[in-house]
Each structure stands twice: as C-alpha cells, then as structure tokens.
Structure 1
C-alpha cells in the first residue's frame, strides 16, 4: 500500500465537542469548541483552543473560570447554533436550563450529560488562537448515565466533530478493551 500526501490543514481524527460557558458582560454565554482535550491527569487539566476574537474569551479572562459541557446527540442543533452565532449578537443562555455549582462564575447546562467547572491555570498565546488550560474543580453527571458507578459512553451519546467533512457524529462500537488487548501479542 502506497501512502499519498494529503492536506494537512484538516484533522484526520474525530474530536469531542464541548459547549464552553463563561460569564461575559454580566450574562451567561456559551460557545462551541471542537479543539478540546485532556492535558493532564494530576492535576486534572483540560485544554480548549479558541480564536483570539471570540467573545467568550473576554469572560474567561475576567473571571478566570469557565464551564465545560459535553452535549449529547440530542443537543446537536443547539450545539451547532452556539458555534455559528456570537454571544455579542444573541443570548445563547436562553437555549438551556442553566445551573451553578461551587464556582459561581461558571454556569453549566443541565441538559448536557457531563459538565465541569474549571479555573484557569494558564492561557497560552498561539498566534491566532489562545489555548486555555483549566483545572477541573468539580465534575457533574447523573446516575442514569452510569453503569456500576462509572460513566457509560453508550448512555452518554456524546457528540464528536470531524474535519474536513465538518460533520457531527456520535460514538460507534467498542472495538477492544484498552490496556489489555495488546497483551495478546506474543514477543
């Protein structure tokens, strides 16, 4: 099989979609982010990358807190809307049932299966974007999304984003158990 070079501007891997929440100009706002991942386990650091002109960044910078809300496939339309409309122009908080946890400046979305409150750990300037590193302070879900006390991906039905196709997906089938299937290779 011969490899061919392809366009490197797209991402050849699916990414989790989040609705990032922050208080901006005194009101709750949410933005859709696909450039998101966990950066460290201890401390529990998550990273979200956003364009420097994003309205929501102003609130993150001011309060040094934000929320991470993982939407399920039932929220695909509202998730997309939050990515194509600016909080400067529309009040996106009206789309959701909002609640607050311990941090009073990091509103969360009740309809999302998993939500988290984060404090800003560091903001890294990457030319046209900021990489916001946040330490997870509190993580929330519901019993209905768990099996044997652990989050169950089949029940969560979280959204994934693919690029360059620009499509939303939900998780497919389990292929194998991590940290064990490799033990079948005999050296």
Structure 2
C-alpha cells in the first residue's frame, strides 16, 4: 500500500483543545474553544491562537488585547465541546456548563477555575492570515491548581488527565511512553559522561512554586477508572468552534 495524496489542508493532529476566556471593555466575559493554538517561544514565553473574525469572541480580544488560555481535561470534555459549538451571542456558556469565573492576577479577563492550568496572555501582534487571524501573545502569568502539586512543589499535569483533539474527536493522552531525553539516557550513563540525563516529562512538570507552599501527597498518581487513550465524549465531525 502506498501513500494517497489529499489537497493541502490542516492535518497537524493531535492538537490541544483549549477553552479561551475573553472579555470586552465593559467586563462581559465569554468562552471560546480553540484548537488552533500553539507554543512559539520560551523567552519571552509566547503562544498563538487563531480565530475567525466572525466569531463572537474575536472583537473582545481586539478591544482588550488580553485573553486566558485554559487547559482542558477529560472531565471537561463536554464543556470544551459546548463552548465551541454554541455562541456567546445566544447564551451564557459559564452558566450553562457550570464554569466558575476567577479573577486573574495580571489581566482583566477571568480564569476558568475548573481548569488545571490558566495562561494569562497579552496580545503582541495580530496577523490577518486569511480565514483565521492569528493572535501572537506573551504569557504574563501562569496559574495552576494546587491539588496537582506534590510534596516537593512539583506540578503534575498528567494527574489532571489532559485531553487532545484529533480529526473531530477528543482523546485522553494514554500512557506515558518515555520522558524527554530517554532515547539517549542509557548510552550516556554507560559512558559515564553524565550527559543525556532525562529531563522532567514534557508537559508534566512546569517547575516549582515560588511561594514555597507544600501541597498534599498523591499528586501525580493515576486515578482509578481512567479512560486514557480512548475517545472522550461524543465524537464530533469538526464543530465550528474548533475546526478550520
């Protein structure tokens, strides 16, 4: 069997399906689900999201120049999908999905309390690319849920059971296949060079807390009944909020 050629399109899957919270200058807040999002720079920390100009949330980001990227989990799969297929013009998504607004530390836009990680962002540039406009933004603050911190002040995102979006469906991430640098670790250890030591699992630990507060034990352990690696929620063929 050979390769079959498709017309050019976005087939870069899986991708994170994130809930982006926004607000206008009057403080009216909304949530939009975005799959076109990505990391672009470490220092300064920067990311992008791409949104169609006709979306209800678009003008809010244009007005304030701020938004919050809220990471999603298996438990939030239904809310994530809902916030992508319903418009804030017609309904209050916060109330519909039982999501809680929480004051951010650096931006005027509220966080979603139920999400394990919230990335507070300020827009640096807007590129009007075509069907989507891309917002390049600097991450000015990161908020994490303390229940995923362990006794060493290390944050374990895997314990929150994050999910991904791939070709119209939501998935749990499945089992860990290795940690960063594991492919060369044994060779380096045999040489005794000390190089190649594996770093913390990518996406699993984001460093230690600055305030020194210890969290309870058990963070990072697998919860019973996890359905990782399987589709979460009802499969979608590409809802308006997260498709091209």
Does the TM-score normalized on the shorter chain lie above 0.5?
Answer: yes
Structure 1 residues not aligned, in runs of 5+: none
Where 1:139 maps in the other structure, the secondary structure is strand
Please state how far the C-alpha of 1:119 moved relative to its aligned partner: 0.6
- Counterparts of 1:86 and 1:29, CA distance in 2: 9
Answer yes or no: is 1:159 the counterpart of 2:140.
no
| Contact preservation (8 Å) 1:30, 1:82 | yes
| Contact preservation (8 Å) 1:106, 1:118 | no
Counterpart of 1:80?
81
CA RMSD, Structure 1 to Structure 2 (Å): 2.0
Where 1:79 maps in the other structure, the secondary structure is helix
Matches within 5 A, 1:45-60: 45-60=46-61
Higher RCO structure (Cα 8 Å, ≥6 apart): 1
Under a length normalisation based on structure 1, what TM-score does the superposition of the two structures give?
A: 0.89
Under a length normalisation based on structure 2, what TM-score does the superposition of the two structures give?
A: 0.69
| Contact preservation (8 Å) 2:107, 2:120 | no
Please state how far the C-alpha of 1:102 moved relative to its aligned partner: 2.1
Deviates more, 1:21-30 or 1:143-152: 143-152
Structure ID, larger Rg: 2
Structure 2 residues not aligned, in runs of 5+: 189-244
| Contact preservation (8 Å) 1:47, 1:131 | yes
**Deviation per CA, 1:17-46, whole angstroms, max 9, x where unpaired?**
111111136411000001111110011001
Deviates more, 1:21-30 or 1:74-83: 21-30
